[in-house]
Amino acid sequence: MIIHPEKAYLISGYQQLMAHFDHAREDQGLTRQQLADETPGVSRSQVVEWLNGKHESRGSNLFALANALGYDLALIPREGA
């Protein structure tokens, strides 16, 4: 897979990831209900809690949210790690 640096985002924490997801949702004109509808097995209330930082989602749900928003999540080793 080719990663285009100008289209990649370096996210350093869960809250930053949720903020990015919420901005992406807004940019795409999706409501939180529509995002929940596009994320299998997830309710609107769960999406709201995750995006508001009230509860953290499980890993599988992070991938499902990313997928619903048209993103792939990737683990990229840091230099020197």
Residue 33 has a pLDDT of: 94
Task: Return the DSSP state at 19.
Answer: H
Q: Look at the block and give the residue holding tokens 């997830």.
A: 42
Question: What pLDDT is stored for residue 1 in this prediction?
Answer: 53
In a domain, 19, yes or no: yes
Q: In angstroms, rounded to a whole number, what is the distance separating the alpha carbons of residues 69 and 56?
A: 18
pTM equals: 0.81
Question: Residue 28 sits in a domain of what CATH number?
Answer: 1.10.260.40
Residue 78: inside a domain: no
Number of domains the chain is built from: 1
Average pLDDT for residues 39-60, to the nearest whole number? 90
pLDDT at residue 3, rounded to an integer? 57
Is 43 part of a structural domain of the chain? yes
Q: Which domain holds residue 48?
A: 12-68
Token readout for 20 is 């990015």
Number of helices (H) and strands (E), helices first, in the chain? Answer: 4, 0
Q: Which residues contact 68 (CB under 8 A, 6 or more apart)?
A: 35, 38, 39
Mean pLDDT, the chain, integer: 86
